[in-house]
Amino acid sequence: MAKNSYIKTSSNDNLYLEGNFKDKNDLFLLVLNIYFILSYISIFISDIRYAKYALPIVVSFLVLQNKKNRIVYELEMAKLYLKYFLYFYVILYLVYFFFQGVFGNNLSFRSIANALFVILPILTVYLLAPLIKVHRIDYYFKYITFLTIGGYVLEKRESLLNSILEWRQIFSAIEDSSVSSESNLYPFLLSLLLLYSFYYKIGWKYSLLILIFVILGFKRIVLLSILVAYCLYKLPFLYRIILSNIKFFSSLFSLIAVVIILFYYNIADGQYDDYLFNNFGIYTNAFMQGRQNLYALVIKELEKDNLIFGSGVGSVDNILIQYGNEINNVTNLHSELLRWFLELGIIGYTIWLFMFFKSVEYSRYIFIMFIFLFILLITDNVMIYFDYMMYYYILSVFSILKEKKYSSHEYFSRLQTEQKKY
């Protein structure tokens, strides 16, 4: 992959040189600054984190003011990718809300909230995409990287220094994930940046720096996902095979995802308790940091509902709120896959993952990043993290803009035709 992939209107146009970072009218950078200011403030005032959900309004205003926007194939392709998700999720939630409101009578505040958690990051990046200056993508990436690291350092402060001095605790944390510098958000964000830096060869120093902070932020599932992503990176032929019949492999992936649900039910039922204790001397619930009890509770409460069409968007959250005192007020199920399955049922769940997997046809990097995300969804709820999904979509757009194959009008037309079918 060539390091410098840029669109140049003229060889004399210095604005399209990688080294030119002096653009004073970069509205994309302005939005990034607003986002990071809110992120930093929310570290000290937690309620400020909700202000990020107003970013689409800010971006809409800036887009309307940006009358010099250039329309190029690359940006159109990126918007097509984002529109693909935006339309799908809006239609999906409207259908479920209709049936929940008319037939189920279980439409709640959590239903609306969960829909907004998913849709708003896409909407933000969709509105933001026209403000991207293609020649500055690497600069944007480095800017995001350093400010993300800055946010992590600001959040952990003293505990970060303690982890550095007591670095041996990282090895023991493989069993219980107990590292003083562990963060609930930043390891996920930094791991996405690490994948991008490595894949597009931004520079080994950047990759090493990000990796250090990923390890300090310590999330076992993140480290596992990175290893899987690296293996996929070393198998480029696999992506070519998938592209040869994307609908077949999207369907196959959806079926595999349904099989994974069986493991959740087995975990909740205690099927692996004896094996883990006899071989490793640890209880399943302890190893999974309380997730087994959560899974058992929610499955028991919702198994009486229709597994074909699901119990309704927001129903899992309502159960967790109802039993808050018994589960130490845990508000997330810590498994996006199980949550979507229980709420949407087997039909909605398989359609969701079919459409999600099919999006990997836009670039090989997006394929690797999707598998990385999928592994995280097994034990975490990053789909409802505005920050994580905004990073996911921004880096997807960067990938589309950096790839050369989209510049082929034939390729662009083929994808455009595919999207119209949905």
What is this structure's pTM? Answer: 0.87
Q: What is the DSSP letter of 234?
A: T
Average pLDDT of adjacent 10-residue blocks, the chain of 422 residues? 38 38 76 95 89 91 70 77 96 93 82 94 94 92 96 86 67 59 88 96 93 86 92 95 96 96 93 87 84 91 82 92 86 92 94 96 96 93 93 96 60 51 48
188 vs 66: CA distance, rounded Å: 32
* pLDDT at position 24: 65
Angle between helix 186-199 and 386-402 (nearest 10) = 10
146 vs 210: CA distance, rounded Å: 9
For residue 23, report the phi and psi dihedrals to the nearest 5 degrees: -75, 110
State the residue for tokens 């520079």: 203
Stated length of the chain? 422
Dihedral of the CA atoms 42, 225, 381, 181 (nearest 10)? -40
Evaluate whether 320 touches 327 at the Cβ level (below 8 Å): yes
Pick from 366, 117, 349, 395: nearest CA to 255: 349
* pLDDT at position 139: 96
* pLDDT at position 390: 97
252 vs 241: CA distance, rounded Å: 13
- What is the separation, in whole angstroms, between the first and last Cα of the chain? 31
* pLDDT at position 408: 46
Classified as helix, coil or strand, 13 is: coil
136 vs 392: CA distance, rounded Å: 18
